[in-house]
Amino acid sequence: MAQFIKQNRIQYLSLILFLFGALFIAQAQHTEEFNTLKNKYPEASFIRLIDKIQISVKLKNNDELEIKQSFFEEDLFLDESATYGSKKALDFSAFFELESVEATSYEYKDGKYKAYKVEDFVEKDELDNSFHDDTKSLNFIYPNLAEGGKTKLEYTEIVKNPRFISPIYFGNFYPIKNKKVILIADDEITLRFKEFNTKGYNIKFSKENKRGSNIYTWEISDVDEIKYESAVPTYKKVLPHIIPIITSYKTKDKEVKVLEDVSDLYDWYYSMVKDINQQPTDVALVSLVNDITKDCKTNLEKVRAIYYWTQKNIKYIDFEYALGGFIPREANDVFNKKYGDCKDNSSILFEMLKVAGLKGYLTWIGTRSIPYSYTELPTPMVDNHMILSYKEDDKTYFLDATGRYLPLEMPSSFIQGKEALIGNGEGDFYIETVPIMPPENNSYIEKSQLSLKEEQLVGIGETSLSGYYKIDYFNQLESKNSEKELKDYYTRKLQKGSNKFLIQSFEELNKYSYNKDFKINYQFSINDYAKQLGDEIYVNLNLNREISYFRSEDDRENEIEVKYKSYYHFENSLEVPEHYSIDYLPENFKLSNKYFKCNISYTKELNKVIYKHELNMNFLTLSAEEQKLVNAAIKKVEKQYKETVVFKKTN
């Protein structure tokens, strides 16, 4: 026995020594810097060791500004995902011209780093989000990049327009060991710096003047990674950043205003639209306007007819080049080509209203992905979209012809609550806030007649959709061409009760209608839904549990956003099974707070149980603290979702 114990001890010590040796070898494969940072940031895939930016703003002899932005980035990769990090792309455009790029990867092997300079760069067009520019990308791959490896990237870009200096971010979705930003501007140049989300960050700032230049310096160290979460309205509300604004500069004989206030921004915008549509309107376009408005009895009916025609007939294509991202095309060209971007659609709407004897107003606006207001940030960064406004009886209608199926009374969902910069000629503009549509405008109303066939629930349903809910369905349905595709779509979208929900047949009413609610009538079944135990049948009439989709994770840190406020009404009428009586009906339930209202009721009418469930979701965004309150309330509703109706067999 003693010999056996001794052998086990030797084996145990050998195992410990082996594991210790393996750990030592594993650690020896990486630098001390790697091990320290890996322990400090165990969840991070890489850390930015050095992030240095230098911005130079100079006044040239021709009284124009020369702006350069130089970047230096050094990253250390902390896990095997370094392979994915080896792919890199730099964006550039007519406004941001890449002057030079140098990239190098470093493989750590045999106790030292070996450098591999990137030689191959591939240029690609990037067609997304191109309201402001003709974005392209320079793509490359870091060679031999692996866990413990490093990359260094140096590049310089020329900023071609003084209104487009890049934001400076002091935090990101990865940790940053050291970040330093130096902005050098000639004395003749006046700047303002607007800070966002910098509270709680130890950003050191200094300013000094040397040899006719102002030197602004920001520095921060040891910044933890920011948690990434879905459904955040925009990370511009989360990431700490500073936006430099050139307000003006002095030449030898005058002061040139750039972006001192909103009027400067509007003047620049107006300079690019003032000369459009100066030629006579195409006779075919005039004839079209007269034809589609001939039966209209009011001006608003004319606007509606023109707006809907444009939505249906002008295809939206989002690609521009340089200042073409700000200058609308001629209405005649848009009419003849039958396509255009947001500015082009606004241009043809403007011209068509003019032909009808009405006045539209070109309008600049930012989508909800942009958190800034015109007064706090009077730069092109505040907006990314153009629409047309129409005023009548002190009410403004916001016409966005890039959308489809949008009724005149509803703005696009993605500009609700946003400031609109409405132009009215040279030097004349005003700012108005786009209204947020109330929940009742975006309704999902469903009524079902139900009966039991043993444990199968069968029903006849009618679902009625309005507002943004209807528009979402219409946009999705455009790609569904066959009967099977449609049945599969409705089985998925109208699912209730369980995943055994199946639609047998359906009928569509008012499909693609602008002004009528969209209705789907259908027959369906849900297998194995009711539960029979002895002489009792249990049925849960909470077939739709929509509110659960609004509950966020309990540990969420950031604001959450939904597309629009919404209203739901579910009504289920269940026949009492033959030879059974109602043994138990759950109690009615009500809950109301500033974010949502919920009512659930059960009543008996003749031989039926009538269930009604009403939800009024009255928010677009919720802060982290508000989410906690909403989650607690939702859990109370979800508890009610477990309630069942009980039928008992009669003698």
Sheet strand arrangement including 580-584? 531-533, 536-539, 645-649, 580-584
Whether residues 284 and 394 fall in one domain: yes
Query: Sorting pLDDT into bands at 50, 70 and 90, what band is 236?
Result: very high
Which position has the token pair 């403004």?
Answer: 396
- Residue 19: its pLDDT value, please? 43
Domain's final residue, options 385, 403, 433: 433
**Predicted local confidence at residue 2, as pLDDT:** 45
- The CATH number for 484's domain is 2.60.120.1130
| Whether residue 470 sits in one domain with residue 393 | no
d(CA 151, CA 178): 15
Which residues are CB-contacts of 248 (< 8 A; sequence separation ≥ 6)? Answer: 189, 190, 255, 256, 257, 258, 260
Q: Do both 53 and 76 map to the same domain?
A: yes
Percent of the chain with pLDDT over 70: 93
pLDDT band at 317 (very low <50, low <70, confident <90, very high): confident
**Domain match, 276 and 248 both:** no
Same domain, 285 and 220: no
Q: Rounded CA gap, 222 and 342, in Å? A: 43
Give the number of other Cβ atoms within 10 Å of residue 67's Cβ. 22
Q: Quick one: pLDDT at residue 5?
A: 40
596 CB-contact burial (10 Å; exposed 0-12 / middle 13-18 / buried 19+):
buried
Looking up residue 347, the CATH number of its domain turns out to be 3.10.620.30
In the predicted structure, residue 13 carries a pLDDT above the cut 70: no
The whole domain housing 17 covers 2-30
Are residue 340 and residue 415 in the same domain, yes or no?
yes
Q: Counting Cβ atoms within 10 Å, is residue 353 exposed (0-12), middle (13-18) or buried (19+)?
A: buried
Residue 218: pLDDT over 60:
yes
- For the stretch 130-146, pLDDT in tens is 444 467 899 999 999 99
564/410 Cα distance (integer angstroms)? 12
Starting from the edge strand earliest in sequence, which strands make up the sheet with 65-77, in order?
112-117, 96-109, 150-159, 65-77, 46-59, 176-186, 213-223, 204-210
In DSSP terms, 58 is beta-bridged to: 66
Alpha-carbon gap, residue 76 to 369, rounded angstroms: 31
Same-domain pairing of 417 and 496: no
pLDDT for the residue numbered 124: 87
560 and 588 in a single domain? The answer is: yes
The structural domain count of the chain equals: 4
Q: Element (H or E) spanning 21, and its range? A: helix 2-28
Whether 380 is in a domain gets the answer yes
303 and 319 co-located in one domain? yes
Q: What pLDDT, on a 0 to 100 scale, did the predictor assign at position 198?
A: 97
Which pLDDT score, from 0 to 100, does residue 267 have?
A: 97
468-523 pLDDT per residue, tens = 999 999 999 999 999 999 999 999 999 999 999 999 999 999 999 999 999 999 99
Least confident window among 13-27, 276-290, 358-372, 620-634 = 13-27
pTM of the predicted model as reported, rounded to 2 decimal places: 0.90
pLDDT averaged over every residue in the chain:
92
pLDDT at 134: 63
Instruction: Give a yes or no: residue 39 inside a domain.
Output: no
- Assess whether 198 and 295 both reside in one domain: no
pLDDT tier at 101 (50, 70, 90 boundaries)?
A: very high
Q: Helices marked H in 396-531 — which ranges?
A: 467-477, 483-493
Alpha-carbon distance of 613 to 570, in angstroms, equals 5
pLDDT in tens, 390-408: 999 999 999 999 989 999 9
Q: Within a domain: residue 115? A: yes
Specify whether 313 is located in the same domain as 424.
yes
Does 288 lie in the same domain as 252? Answer: no
Two structure tokens written together for 637: 């509703």
According to the model, what pLDDT value does residue 323 have? 55
Rounded Cα distance, 279 and 258, in Å: 31
